[in-house]
Amino acid sequence: MKLPGNMQGMMKQAQQMQERMQAEVAAIRVEGSAGGEMVVIKMDGHKNVLGVKIDPEAAGDAEMLQDLVLAACNDAVRKVDEISNKKMSGMLGGMGLPPGLF
Protein backbone atom coordinates (compact mmCIF):
# COMPACT_ATOMS: atom_id res chain seq x y z
CA MET A 1 0.00 0.00 0.00
CA LYS A 2 1.44 3.35 -1.02
CA LEU A 3 1.08 6.13 1.55
CA PRO A 4 0.86 9.81 0.64
CA GLY A 5 4.31 11.49 0.52
CA ASN A 6 4.00 13.33 3.83
CA MET A 7 2.70 10.26 5.67
CA GLN A 8 5.44 8.08 4.22
CA GLY A 9 8.07 10.56 5.41
CA MET A 10 6.54 10.64 8.88
CA MET A 11 6.56 6.85 9.06
CA LYS A 12 10.23 6.74 8.06
CA GLN A 13 11.06 9.39 10.66
CA ALA A 14 9.19 7.43 13.35
CA GLN A 15 11.08 4.24 12.42
CA GLN A 16 14.44 6.05 12.61
CA MET A 17 13.49 7.51 15.98
CA GLN A 18 12.51 4.07 17.28
CA GLU A 19 15.82 2.59 16.14
CA ARG A 20 17.74 5.44 17.77
CA MET A 21 15.76 5.01 21.00
CA GLN A 22 16.44 1.26 21.07
CA ALA A 23 20.16 1.92 20.66
CA GLU A 24 20.14 4.48 23.47
CA VAL A 25 18.25 2.15 25.81
CA ALA A 26 20.68 -0.68 25.05
CA ALA A 27 23.58 1.60 26.03
CA ILE A 28 22.16 2.44 29.48
CA ARG A 29 24.19 1.11 32.40
CA VAL A 30 23.19 1.67 36.03
CA GLU A 31 24.13 0.45 39.48
CA GLY A 32 21.51 -0.13 42.13
CA SER A 33 22.61 -0.55 45.72
CA ALA A 34 21.31 -1.31 49.17
CA GLY A 35 22.60 -1.42 52.70
CA GLY A 36 25.17 1.31 52.20
CA GLU A 37 26.44 -0.48 49.09
CA MET A 38 26.73 -3.83 50.85
CA VAL A 39 24.98 -5.15 47.74
CA VAL A 40 25.43 -3.55 44.31
CA ILE A 41 23.59 -4.70 41.18
CA LYS A 42 24.77 -3.64 37.71
CA MET A 43 21.98 -3.53 35.11
CA ASP A 44 21.59 -2.55 31.45
CA GLY A 45 18.77 -0.62 29.81
CA HIS A 46 16.88 -3.81 29.03
CA LYS A 47 16.89 -4.63 32.75
CA ASN A 48 19.33 -7.51 32.38
CA VAL A 49 21.49 -7.97 35.46
CA LEU A 50 25.12 -7.64 34.38
CA GLY A 51 26.81 -8.11 37.72
CA VAL A 52 26.35 -8.49 41.44
CA LYS A 53 28.74 -7.36 44.17
CA ILE A 54 28.14 -8.56 47.72
CA ASP A 55 30.14 -7.35 50.70
CA PRO A 56 31.35 -10.43 52.64
CA GLU A 57 29.82 -8.91 55.79
CA ALA A 58 26.34 -9.29 54.29
CA ALA A 59 26.87 -12.94 53.38
CA GLY A 60 26.55 -14.17 56.98
CA ASP A 61 22.85 -13.42 57.35
CA ALA A 62 20.86 -15.08 54.55
CA GLU A 63 17.61 -13.26 55.28
CA MET A 64 19.29 -9.85 55.36
CA LEU A 65 21.20 -10.70 52.17
CA GLN A 66 17.97 -11.63 50.38
CA ASP A 67 16.42 -8.30 51.41
CA LEU A 68 19.49 -6.36 50.26
CA VAL A 69 19.62 -8.10 46.87
CA LEU A 70 15.92 -7.43 46.34
CA ALA A 71 16.29 -3.77 47.31
CA ALA A 72 19.36 -3.31 45.10
CA CYS A 73 17.55 -4.88 42.10
CA ASN A 74 14.55 -2.60 42.64
CA ASP A 75 16.87 0.40 42.89
CA ALA A 76 18.55 -0.52 39.60
CA VAL A 77 15.20 -1.03 37.83
CA ARG A 78 14.00 2.37 39.09
CA LYS A 79 17.14 4.02 37.74
CA VAL A 80 16.76 2.35 34.33
CA ASP A 81 13.14 3.51 34.17
CA GLU A 82 14.11 7.08 35.11
CA ILE A 83 16.84 7.29 32.47
CA SER A 84 14.69 5.65 29.79
CA ASN A 85 11.79 8.01 30.49
CA LYS A 86 14.07 11.07 30.33
CA LYS A 87 15.56 9.92 27.03
CA MET A 88 12.16 9.16 25.54
CA SER A 89 10.53 12.40 26.65
CA GLY A 90 13.48 14.35 25.29
CA MET A 91 13.25 12.55 21.97
CA LEU A 92 9.48 12.78 21.66
CA GLY A 93 9.12 16.26 23.16
CA GLY A 94 9.50 18.03 19.84
CA MET A 95 6.89 15.95 18.05
CA GLY A 96 3.85 17.51 19.75
CA LEU A 97 2.42 14.16 20.83
CA PRO A 98 0.00 14.02 23.74
CA PRO A 99 1.55 13.04 27.10
CA GLY A 100 1.37 9.35 27.98
CA LEU A 101 1.15 8.18 24.38
CA PHE A 102 4.46 6.31 24.70
Spell out the domains of the chain, with CATH numbers in brackets: 26-89 (3.30.1310.10)
Residue 96's alpha-carbon distances to 24, 57, 82, 99, in angstroms, are 21, 52, 21, 9
- Are 72 and 31 a contacting pair, CB within 8 Å? no
Per-residue pLDDT of 47-94, as tens digits, reads: 999 999 999 998 889 999 999 999 999 999 999 999 998 888 877 665
| Residue 80, amino acid | V
Per-residue pLDDT of 89-100, as tens digits, reads: 877 665 555 555
pLDDT at 101 over 60: no
